[in-house]
Amino acid sequence: MPAEETTAAIVLRARDYSESDRIVTLLTREFGKLSGIAKGAKASRRRFERKLEPFSHVNLFFRRRPQGQLVFITRAEAGEAMPRLEDDLAKIALGSYMLELADALTSEEAEAADAYEVLARALGTLGGGAVTLAMRQSFELNLLRAAGFGLEFAHCRICGLGEAAGGAVYFVVARGGIVCARCRPQAPEGAVRLAAINAAALAALAAAPIEDAAILTQAGSDGALAIARFLASILDRKLRSVEFLDSLF
């Protein structure tokens, strides 16, 4: 039998399977994203009770199987405290989006320690403070960087110059960053015009940990549009949680 392995993990999604089992997808600190089956999860209160729900931080114990994607989850211990989302609709909406985006930007069996770290800190921050657009944008930019997509909002992707205050810059999805007004003729049609102040806000949000989102400025609707366009270009599906979240802010 393969050895039991253990890691800190956050439950991204879970569903009942057959009479008594649960299939769970988690983002782990050590092993990237894992999906596993918890046999008898509904009956075994001692091993699993309420620990295999979305948002749960757990210490996961599992064994790999010789074949197949699903690992055997042998037990789960309570890890760090879960964020207290309570009945706060905005927190639940943003938290659900955080889980879904983390799921979409990671793949099974690929290392994802940075994404785990970003998600863990984001959920902790979400539990502690008010939900803001800056928090959402900070999460998106930090998670994108952890997934290998560091977006550039401080310097022109073509000439490298920082943009002087007052003008506008243009976010080009294919370049993963901005071009300045001078270089714009070299950029494709369809670039997102960003007020300089919003490009600066995005640069600050991208450079700071999410705990700082509460003291940073949000990047406004053009900033949100730039991030949304970039996400749409790399995701193969529309996220279920995004429409409701967009209706809130």
Smallest gap from Cβ 201 to Zn ion, in A, equals 20
- In the complex with Zn ion, the residue whose CB is nearer, 12 or 183, is 183
Question: Binder to Zn ion among 135, 144, 156, 201 (CB under 5 A)?
Answer: 156
Question: Where does residue 234 rank: exposed (0-12), middle (13-18), buried (19+ CB within 10 A)?
Answer: middle
CB of 128 to Zn ion, least distance (A): 40
Residue 23: both structure tokens together: 């299939």
CB of 165 to Zn ion, least distance (A): 15
Structure-token pair, residue 156 = 């022109």
Task: Candidates 159, 174, 235, 248: give the one binding Zn ion (CB under 5 A).
Answer: 159
Segment lying near Zn ion (by CB under 5 A), choices 46-54, 83-91, 155-163, 164-172: 155-163
Closer residue to Zn ion in complex, CB, 93/180: 180
What x/- string results for residues 106 through 135 when contact with Zn ion is judged by CB under 5 A?
Answer: ------------------------------
Backbone angles phi, psi at 63, to 5 degrees: -120, 140
Q: 145 vs 155, which CB is nearer to Zn ion?
A: 155
SS3 225: helix
The residue length of the chain stands at 249
Binding segment for Zn ion among 127-135, 138-146, 152-160, 211-219 (CB under 5 A)? 152-160
Q: Which is nearer to Zn ion, 160 or 190 (CB)?
A: 160
- Residue 224 corresponds to which amino acid? A
Beta bridge partners of 159: none
Question: Of 122-130, 149-157, 203-211, 226-234, which segment contacts Zn ion by CB under 5 A?
Answer: 149-157
**Cβ pair 146, 115 in contact under 8 A:** yes
Q: Does position 158 bind Zn ion by CB under 5 A?
A: yes
Scanning 62-195, the segments in alpha helix (DSSP H) are 89-104, 113-128, 133-146
For Zn ion, which is the closer residue by CB, 158 or 168?
A: 158
Q: Pattern 172-191, binding to Zn ion, x per CB under 5 A?
A: --------x--x--------
Q: What token pair was written down for 98?
A: 């955080």
Give ∠ CA 236-227-125 in degrees, rounded to 5: 100
Specify the amino acid at residue 198.
N
Task: Name the residue nearer to Zn ion (CB basis): 71 or 172.
Answer: 172
Question: Rounded to an integer, what distance in angstroms lies between the CA atom of residue 29 and that of residue 111?
Answer: 8
Which of 156, 192 has the CB closer to Zn ion? 156
Name, in order, each residue with C-beta under 8 angstroms of 54's C-beta and a sequence gap of 6 or more: 11, 12, 13, 14, 96, 99
Tell me, residue by residue from 70 to 89, as one string, x for binding to Zn ion by CB under 5 A and - for no binding.
--------------------
Q: What tokens appear for 112 in the block? A: 């994802």
- Residue ranges binding Zn ion (CB under 5 A): 156, 158-159, 180, 183
